[in-house]
Chain A
Amino acid sequence: MIAPSRPVKSGPNGRPVRPFVMPDSVSGKLGVWRYLMLRRATQIGVLLLFFGTAHWGWSLAGQPVLVGNLSASEFLGLIPLADPFAVVQILLTQHALESRVLIGAGIVLVFYGLLGGRTWCSWVCPINMVTDLASWLRTRLGIRDMFRLIRNIRYIVLVLALVLSALTGVAAFEWVSPISMMHRELIFGLGLGWTAVLGVFLFDLLVLKHGWCGHVCPLGAFYALVGKVAPVRVRFDTPTCTHCGECAKVCPEPQVLNLRQAAATGMISSGECTNCGRCITVCPEDTLHFDLRLRITSVTQSSQSDPHQRRSA
């Protein structure tokens, strides 16, 4: 018999640190994958709504379901939707826009402002499926990063996109965006746009982990700013956390899992959190949950007035 070489570690709350173990049962696995499956369903579902309306004439009550693409569209012939970042870029080229697209951008802005800006990134954006595949593959293949890049570079790219829109007179990011190329060509017919998508895939696979979505993409940066004060957040229950780090291993934006900050606020407050829910399902202690900011703040404040609770934080 070999004795355990290391004593069992315990977390700051005194409980033993347990690793995440993938359950053997199918239902257990499905439980771990529940948000992943939901995300894929919405991502593919949204594309399918566009595609079905365009090619199979899907309609509801005599109105086409969803005409256009993710840049701008019309839902049921009534509700306009538009990409607010694209609209901002066009406005910066000093061109006035029709009210329809402005209202559409406003609706989308409010929607993601409520749900958490980067909910777009992990629940709707089609390129997320590509980069998730790349990141899954590179973990499998054990590929290491070629270099490190600060994640704040995306805010520089965001500013560049806005400045270049004003200087060149065309929406700078929209004109080179692999995201737009991907959904446009999926819905309206294929061209060479897949080469840009392949470029993002290879960059994420071989060069830098989470390279595109986690470092470069200015649309993600835009939505991170939009979602700064979003009511929907991932709640963090301080007393149960053993600092095992399983959440940070699966998180595509691990810098948002600042546990000290999370303990203080009772939630993952960074706008860069994509609300993908990966951390929630792998946490062995059931510490993380989707919740509303308002409820979390009230609970945190009441618990902070309790000295016993505060110590464990």
Chain B
Amino acid sequence: MPDARKSRREFLTRMGQGAAVAATGGLIWSYLLRQQAQASPAGIRPPGALEESDFNAKCIKCGQCVRACPYDTLALAAVGDNVPIGTPYYTPRDVPCYMCEDIPCKVACPTGALDPALDNINDSRMGLAVIDIENCLSWQGLRCEICHRDCPLQDKAITVEHHPRKLSKHAMFVPVVHSDHCTGCGICEKACPTDEAAIRVLPHKLVQGKIGEHYRLGWTVDTPVTQDFKPYTGSESGVSAPPGGLDYLNEDGL
């Protein structure tokens, strides 16, 4: 075989080997990354954190938010913490977010992973408080309501509803969380007196459902009348037959 051809074949083989190693390494590497990115859907992020995938991309893992927090709420996930390595999170049962008005963690963030546009801490959505009504003292009929009393958005994020019971028992006063105001700060979870918190903060993704868009809650005032809803006029097409069923209640002589 001529030398030039031999060396060309050798060169191509080398290139092929290199490409194969790079591709295999790249596949394993990207697998690791995807595993990491999905490490824990239960991690509670600092206020203003972007949506999880954007947050994971933008966070540079510098810990300046951790240092800025006056309550030592935040921690950087170490390897083995089940939160993407190096990203900030907090455990509300240990130390909740006390909702500083100046949001120092957000101010400290150099990359914008904590949204600089967040001005009012009450607009933050770190998670959503969820009540385990089987273990909530109030739901058993005791007068607890500690979560309601400690809630920084009292009577908005947590209200106390009143459930009358049979005559021999007093009424129940139960806490109810409202997602349109709950920031997920976790002060309720920290305050809950049960052994394991009966109210706890979880990411919205894990707990919040979504009604399909085709549902029309007609009895609510602000539900718009849709274009496919046509009130019965009776004379539109010359046919005066009412819709099916007997309308005897409106008939004369009843």
CB-based nearest B residue for A185: B78
Q: Is the CB of A73 within 8 A of B62?
A: yes
Tell me whether B60 is interfacial, beta carbon within 8 Å.
yes
Q: A191 CA to B86 CA in the complex, in Å?
A: 10
A interface size (C-beta, 8 A): 51
User: Smallest CB–CB gap between A51 and chain B, Å?
Assistant: 11
Interface flags, B111-141, vs A, CB<8A=1, else 0: 1100010000000000000000000000000
Interface flags, A57-77, vs B, CB<8A=1, else 0: 000000010011101111000
Q: Is the CB of B22 within 8 A of A171?
A: no
Tell me whether A281 is interfacial, beta carbon within 8 Å.
no
Q: State which residues 156-211 of A face B: CB under 8 Å.
A: 156-157, 160, 163-164, 167-172, 174-176, 180-181, 184-185, 187-193, 195-196
Chain B residues with CB under 8 A of A90: 57-58, 60, 111
Q: Is the CB of B33 within 8 A of A172?
A: yes
Q: Is the CB of B111 within 8 A of A176?
A: no
CB-based nearest A residue for B18: A156
Q: Pick the contact of B110 from A74, A96, A163, A168 — CB < 8 Å?
A: A74
Q: Is the CB of A188 within 8 A of B26?
A: no
User: Smallest CB–CB gap between B28 and chain A, Å?
Assistant: 10
Q: A313 CA to B111 CA in the complex, in Å?
A: 52
Tell me whether B81 is interfacial, beta carbon within 8 Å.
yes
Tell me whether A101 is interfacial, beta carbon within 8 Å.
yes
Q: Pick the contact of B76 from A87, A170, A171, A184 — CB < 8 Å?
A: A184
Tell me whether A80 is interfacial, beta carbon within 8 Å.
yes
Q: A53 CA to B68 CA in the complex, in Å?
A: 12
Tell me whether B34 is interfacial, beta carbon within 8 Å.
yes
Chain A residues with CB under 8 A of B54: 95
Instruction: Contacts A68-B63, A164-B26, A164-B30 given; indicate if A191 touches B57 (C-beta within 8 A).
Output: no
Q: Which of B18, B53, B56 has the most CB of A within 10 A?
A: B56
Tell me whether A3 is interfacial, beta carbon within 8 Å.
no
Q: State which residues 32-54 of B face A: CB under 8 Å.
A: 32-34, 36-37, 53-54
Q: Is the CB of B111 within 8 A of A192?
A: no
Chain B residues with CB under 8 A of A191: 77-81
Q: Is the CB of A189 within 8 A of B34?
A: no
Chain B residues with CB under 8 A of A93: 57-58
User: Smallest CB–CB gap between A48 and chain B, Å?
Assistant: 16
CB-based nearest A residue for B116: A98
Chain A residues with CB under 8 A of B26: 160, 163-164
Q: Is the CB of B63 within 8 A of A184?
A: yes
Q: Is the CB of A188 within 8 A of B75?
A: yes
Interface flags, B231-242, vs A, CB<8A=1, else 0: 000000000000
Tell me whether B184 is interfacial, beta carbon within 8 Å.
no
Q: State which residues 95-111 of B face A: CB under 8 Å.
A: 108-111
Tell me whether A83 is interfacial, beta carbon within 8 Å.
yes
Tell me whether A248 is interfacial, beta carbon within 8 Å.
no
Q: Is the CB of A73 within 8 A of B64?
A: yes
Tell me whether B29 is interfacial, beta carbon within 8 Å.
yes
Tell me whether B61 is interfacial, beta carbon within 8 Å.
yes
Q: Is the CB of B79 within 8 A of A185?
A: yes
Q: Pick the contact of A72 from B62, B77, B80 — CB < 8 Å?
A: B62
Tell me whether A86 is interfacial, beta carbon within 8 Å.
yes
Instruction: Contacts A175-B84, A192-B80 given; indicate if A187 touches B63 (C-beta within 8 A).
Output: yes
Q: Is the CB of B63 within 8 A of A188?
A: yes
Tell me whether B16 is interfacial, beta carbon within 8 Å.
no
Interface flags, A30-72, vs B, CB<8A=1, else 0: 0000000000000000000000011000000000100111011
Q: A238 CA to B78 CA in the complex, in Å?
A: 50
Q: Pick the contact of A195 from B22, B76, B79 — CB < 8 Å?
A: B79
Q: A83 CA to B22 CA in the complex, in Å?
A: 25
Query: A residues touching B (Cβ–Cβ < 8 Å)?
Result: 53-54, 64, 67-69, 71-74, 80, 82-83, 86-87, 90, 93, 95-98, 100-101, 104, 156-157, 160, 163-164, 167-172, 174-176, 180-181, 184-185, 187-193, 195-196
5 sample A-B contacts, Cβ–Cβ < 8 Å, listed by A number: A67-B68, A69-B62, A98-B109, A175-B33, A175-B37
What 17 new A-B contacts, CB under 8 Å, besides A97-B58, A187-B63? A74-B108, A87-B60, A90-B111, A164-B26, A168-B33, A168-B37, A169-B37, A169-B57, A170-B37, A174-B60, A181-B79, A184-B76, A189-B76, A191-B80, A193-B78, A193-B79, A196-B79
